[in-house]
Structure 1
């Protein structure tokens, strides 16, 4: 009798357990979708959005399931953020999944990119319990990864252009020498006392004329009358002062056989000069006088209104107006510097004969990096308190691929002056080290550096901000600019950029191959990749695992290139 009752009871219990989904077995990959379908590195991260589903009559009412994305590669793995789900009879705060209806969910995860991820697979791992019992749910592969094209910025950064500490050399410098001949009130004759001034002025003209490195442009004579008195009277005075001054100057030039153009002009009533002198004075009621000048434009009304200020008019007549009765003499001339040939020779033979600007300029006259380095080194020795030579030595080291040496020079330059170009270059160093926060900080202090936009473009690539990178690069033709355009899917612009790179290297060709793969141009893929591998054989190994070329892994021409 007992045996007869036991068998039906066991069958009923199995049925109950089965109906509750106690087995919770393997899940098909069909229940999961991943965006993007092939994972891709963006700004040093590998992001993924996973949409999953537990099917109907699967999720046990008493089960708790922890789901963890895991990116696996040969020799390693990285775990993403887990999510926990619970059955209908579990008391808790996790998302509840219906046994009868099943349930959908979305998980966002991100992994820190490492190069080994280029050949990897994304799995979901499950940790399930029903009460105190552990239930095994096999891991499910849901995606391949990782496209790492954005990480090529680490290589293209080497061809970025560091900022130069530019020289301020000017071969022709414009100079001038001024003097004034003063006149008495209502007189235009050049007094004997003022002839001395004219003679001293002429001596300066003579010195400039005889100097080997100077050239006279012209002599200007500007004659004035003070604004007191009628306009006609002042006009005649100013004109006569102009003519009389010109006679003296021309006489002296002729005596010393100096050829120079003499240009003359006169101002009948020198209100501008009057206003300037008043504004610089400590005269009582100065502000009232200046207000009169701004209120009235008619010369006669101005004069009358100022005379009405009786308390100060005598002071104006004694201290200001006499200074306006004059002829201003201006010698304009050019100082002509050393020729390029002279500067280059002295930079090598006797650099101490060059000033700082000439020495820095000398380095721009050669394309030989060793000669540039020697010149900048001399500049640091002769002018140790200027940052530019240290900065430019850092630029040379950077372009030679010696980043530690470059950083030392840039830091030395920064210790002398916190200059925009030095900050920009330290930003490039930080980017090469993968320190994006430091790079952003340095570049934020680099406003005014000529090459800043290119540096910012590289930063934006590293941050995964591809549209901003494209805008920053503008029409710059570099590998980094083309990389930004590829990542932003502006393929036509990227092709034009790569074609315009001044000194194409292996990565120029590699990016062209990537562009060919993205635009389904097989011949571009194979021809460009062949050129890239010829220049840098290590790129064959990279291409062999680069998912940009996944659909070419069975192409005979492609395989022959990377073997």
Structure 2
């Protein structure tokens, strides 16, 4: 590498010395131009390439002396990036003489000229240790200007001039993101403290009646009958009752006042019925309930009047042929007009009286009980000995009580087995898999989480983290966008995406918004943004390991502090021996290639 650096410097000096000269050769033809290519100054900016936004951008500069360029000549300049296992041909540029008719930049024979063009190519890791060579091809114009050098070689008699070494190596510091610092997100369980469990059931009534009659067809329906019985069974668990909500409804064909009164009566009648049933339960010695006196139970009882919303939904779900016309008509009318119109429809369509209206004459009952609290110790013990006795939230909470990843993973996997239709355990097991380095398994778990609940923000965030680990930044950005939309803070992870895109200032702002400044990726972005003083302050607060010391050496190198750069580089290699070979080929230290102290620590 040192030899290549020496060659690069020699070529650069020769080119700088030769550029101002006026071409005096007698042979102005193609062969003469190729022979005297040393009179042309071709260079690259920058002379050491650098990755930014996962791409390399380089400007090729060409300076032609006076009386050099033949009026009938074409010169193709093609930069080629050469590396150990191959090469990449960059976009070429054609320079043409004054009598050439075709695509290209015209160069005056009398005055010469200075020209440049810029190109951007995707970066590949193979390009890290590379040379950028410019290979001029010169030919005499006949009928066409060929677009690239392959066409020239296939179709023209050409002269190949000596190559120019214009750039050496690629700085890829922007690729050194610490992916382990990415922020995984865990779905948060409800607190182990008071957890309200709700059971619901409906009681149905005959038209214009507030009397509870179990012979009403909908009350005899097995599904509805089971739900009402389950209310009592729930209370018989002995859990404390938070409250019981009773909401009365009426079908809308009557007047507003009548329906309001009727719904209130139905609600009150249902409350009285429930109190009698609950009182009889508490009187039985073999049944455990949480109350002594039924009047200690808090009832929230109200009548909501006519259930127009329920009516509209019932019509929409019905088999009435003209249901869309009916819906549109009712939506446009005033309250009084709607009642009159509904009564017309009732006479016209038997479905109203047979199925739709009976389903609206009801009370809705919600029994809200408080799930008993458990101590952390009890939850942990139950999670080990009898996990099926815990709710999904309790198992999720149990996982927060343990520190070791393998124990967390075991709890989440048990929760998945016990509650296979809950998305949160899959999400959190995926987060643990990421932290354990098993991204393939993490991806499977997280995709399962989203299949169950496509609104689970944490799962999208974690899939974004997996995508970055797999170097798929485009997918990561989309995942973080969705996660943020659903409520997860993705600022830090978005900042890492911004580093990859080459927007370093934005990266710093995002990563420090809700995160301490003392962070490796923050220091990296500050370095790439050329904020070296701030970057050094940031890196100083970090724990000294191989990567942080290496970054400190890079900062010192960029600020031309040779002593500090070599000192931190030596410490980095001592902490992590892999840094030795990286530093040996890293163009961040190009100007140290001949420094004996640098050579001593990398050889």
Shift in Å at residue 482 of structure 1? 4.9
Specify the SS of the correspondent of 1:333: strand
Report deviation, 1:325.
Answer: 6.5
**Partner in structure 2 of residue 332 of structure 1:** 368
Q: 2:38 aligns with which of 5, 15, 27?
A: 27
Q: Is the 8 A contact 2:429 2:445 kept in 1?
A: no
TM-aligned CA deviation for residue 342 of structure 1:
3.6
Separation of aligned partners in 2, 1:290 and 1:97: 75
Compared with structure 1, are the counterparts of its residues 322 and 553 closer, same or farther at alpha carbon in structure 2 (3 Å cutoff)? closer
Q: Compared with structure 1, are the counterparts of its residues 475 and 556 closer, same or farther at alpha carbon in structure 2 (3 Å cutoff)?
A: farther
- 1:157 aligns to what? 179
Confirm or deny: 8 A CA contact 2:74 2:97 kept in the other structure: yes
The 5 Å alignment of 1:36-51 reads 36-51=46-61
Looking at structure 2, the residues matched to 314 and 32 of structure 1 have their Cα atoms a distance apart, in angstroms, of: 91
Bigger Cα Rg: 1
Query: 1-side partners of 2:54 and 2:196: how far apart?
Result: 51
Q: Within the alignment, does 1:399 sit opposite 2:422 as a pair?
A: no
Contact 2:244 2:368 (C-alpha < 8 Å) held by counterparts: yes
The yes-or-no answer on 1:344 pairing with 2:368 is no
Segments of 5+ residues of structure 2 without an aligned counterpart are 1-23, 142-155, 283-291
The SS at the match of 1:57 is coil
User: How far apart, CA to CA, are the structure 1 residues paired with 2:489 and 2:502?
Assistant: 21
Q: Partners in 2 of 1:116 and 1:314 — Cα distance?
A: 77
Distance 1:200 1:288, change over 3 A: closer
Gap regions ≥5 residues in structure 1: 1-15
Inter-partner Cα distance in structure 1 for 2:191 and 2:400: 13
**Residue 216 (structure 1) aligned with residue 256 (structure 2):** no
Aligned equivalent of 1:263: 300
Q: Which residue of 2 aligns with 1:176?
A: 199
Task: For 1:322 and 1:63, locate their aligned partners in 2 and report how far apart those are by CA, in whole Å.
Answer: 94
> Which residue is 2:144 aligned to?
none
Partner Cα separation in structure 2 for residue 220 and residue 355 of structure 1: 24
Using the TM superposition, give the Cα deviation of residue 175 of structure 1 relative to its aligned residue in structure 2, in angstroms: 0.7
**Given the alignment, which residue of 553, 560, 576 partners 1:536?**
576
| Structure 1 residue 230: Cα displacement | 6.8
Q: CA deviation at 1:372?
A: 2.8
Q: What SS does the corresponding residue of 1:100 show, helix, strand or coil?
A: coil
Q: Distance in 2 between matches of 1:334 and 1:158?
A: 41
Cα distance, 1:43 vs structure 2:
4.6
Which structure 2 residues correspond to residues 219-230 of structure 1 after superposition, within 5 A? Answer: 219-223=244-248
Secondary structure of the structure 2 residue equivalent to 1:56: coil
> Equivalent residue of 2:52, what SS?
coil
Q: Give 1:368 deviation, angstroms.
A: 0.8
Question: How far 1:36 moved relative to its partner?
Answer: 2.8
Contact 2:197 2:371 in 1 (8 A): yes
Q: Which residue, out of 26, 31, 50, partners 1:18?
A: 26
- Aligned pair 1:53/2:63, yes or no? yes
User: How well do the aligned residues superpose, as a CA RMSD in angstroms?
Assistant: 5.9
List aligned pairs for 1:416-427, cutoff 5 A: none
Partner of 1:58: helix, strand, or coil? coil
- TM-score when normalising by structure 2: 0.62
1:507 to 547, 560, 571: 547
Structure-2 change in CA distance of 1:151 and 1:216 (3 Å): same
Aligned to 1:475: 513
Whole-angstrom CA distance in 2 between matches of 1:71 and 1:280: 67
Count how many residue pairs are aligned between Structure 1 and Structure 2: 531
Q: Distance in 2 between matches of 1:493 and 1:317?
A: 77
